[in-house]
A = this chain, B = another copy of it.
Amino acid sequence: MVNNTITAAKGFLSAGVSCGIKKSGKLDLGLLVCPTGAKASAVFTTNKIAGAPVQVSKKHIKSKKILAVVVNSGNANACTGQEGIQNAIDMCSQTARKIDTNPHNILVASTGIIGEQLPMKETSSGISKAAKVLSASAKAGRNFATAIMTTDTKRKEAVRQIKISGKKVTIAGVVKGAGMIAPNMATALLFISTDVSISKPLLAGALKGAVGDSLNKLTVDGHQSTNDTAIILASGLAENRAIKKKSGNYKLFVKALQDLCEELAEKMALDAEGATRMFKVVVDGASSKTQAGQAGRAVAEYPLVKCAVNGGDPNWGRIICALGSCGVKLNVKKLSCRIGDVTVFSKGVPRKFDKKKAAKIVSGRKHTITINLGVGKWNDFCYGCDLSREYVKINADYHT
């Protein structure tokens, strides 16, 4: 059977165990290990209240080689002061001892409740337990994917394979959800393993671009959590020839990575709390890329648009209202809007359109809203998901 988990790339072992951080007894500690050491790059939350593991990993990512990532779910270790920082450092130290390396070669991530200290006895025992069952099997990969989940309803994994200089290169990714907020708030965590041989700067560039055009384009709640983290580890074991900047091989790798991240972002959107469908907002004709992105985000986050999508309603008025009030430059007389391939508004005037057809498009699992602001040449896009009664239920009924 094909291994479509995080261990699909050569040179990676993983594990996912239960150690009691989650009271439910579900898996809550994951280890991803590259015994030969991996080149690594990461993108962290821009939230000014960064969780302790983010603060520690930001330092460790500077190491030449990363040998492991240790992740727990059930507790975000955020807003936990100096004690929290020490606990994140201890998670790295304990993991480092198990695989005989320096703590600086370990990255750490946490997701779950905020404002409570990590139960370190349980966490330590989890690290020991996980280190004993490390494996390159698909099962080990699935356990890792399960161990990082909070309110996610399913594991979210993806794999891409490409050929570079005649060698098979694998990229494998696993993600936990955005807008998965219970028990208190949570986090987008993305881990990618690859066996590509690549320089650290090129790896960093590729990750930044891929995350920027996928996970960072996905808005569920409109806010970055304290713990959002995306990490890529490259073992180099595919033994492809060195990849040069701007080469065809680099573009090939970037394309595959981008594609993988898009698949994962889509899986996140559709598994967001209460979400039943997703949509993409494509904005063109903007006066700058920033303005295009801002307009797309305004539409994707507007509660009334999200409710309309939930109801399967091609409610263009709410889209236009969001655009008019989001602060971007637009020319009403040139403004246009399409829902799928149905033009609903153009040159500042509503168009007669087939409402049944448009409603069918919006009622689908995913659809695209295309906007032209009529003031420039720039474009950008944003992913959103619907707002459902279930979302409110989950987030109103949960009590701290």
Say yes or no for A396: interface residue by CB 8 A criterion: yes
- CB within 8 Å of B: which of A105-121? 113-116
Contact residue among B114, B223, B318 (Cβ-Cβ distance under 8 Å from A185): B318
B308 lies within 8 A of A221 (CB) = no
Instruction: Output the least CB separation between A91 and chain B (Å).
Output: 20
Contact with B along A313-354 (1 / 0, CB 8 A): 111111011111110001010010000000001001110000
Say yes or no for A21: interface residue by CB 8 A criterion: no
A310 lies within 8 A of B181 (CB) = no
Contact residue among B304, B350, B395 (Cβ-Cβ distance under 8 Å from A115): B350
Contact with B along A141-168 (1 / 0, CB 8 A): 0000000000000000000000000000
Secondary structure at chain A's binding surface: helix, strand, loop or mixed?
A: loop
Stretch in A41-49, A251-259, A263-271 with 4+ CB within 8 Å of B? A41-49
A392 lies within 8 A of B48 (CB) = no
Chain B residues lying within 8 Å of A137, measured Cβ to Cβ, are none
Chain B residues lying within 8 Å of A298, measured Cβ to Cβ, are 223
When chains A and B are docked, how far (Å) is the Cα of A67 from the Cα of B271?
Answer: 57
Q: A321-B223, A389-B392 are in contact. Are A355 and B304 (CB under 8 A)?
A: no
Instruction: Output the least CB separation between A151 and chain B (Å).
Output: 13
Interface centre among A298, A310, A314, A315 (most CB of B within 10 A): A315
When chains A and B are docked, how far (Å) is the Cα of A101 from the Cα of B345?
Answer: 38
What is the total number of copies of this protein in its complex? 2
Say yes or no for A302: interface residue by CB 8 A criterion: yes
When chains A and B are docked, how far (Å) is the Cα of A321 from the Cα of B155?
Answer: 25
Instruction: Output the least CB separation between A392 and chain B (Å).
Output: 5
Say yes or no for A307: interface residue by CB 8 A criterion: yes
Q: A349-B79, A392-B307 are in contact. Are A324 and B399 (CB under 8 A)?
A: no
Say yes or no for A81: interface residue by CB 8 A criterion: yes
A304 lies within 8 A of B395 (CB) = yes
15 A-B contacts (beta carbon < 8 Å)? A48-B324, A49-B321, A49-B335, A79-B317, A116-B350, A181-B304, A184-B315, A185-B317, A185-B321, A223-B298, A223-B325, A307-B392, A313-B396, A313-B398, A389-B389
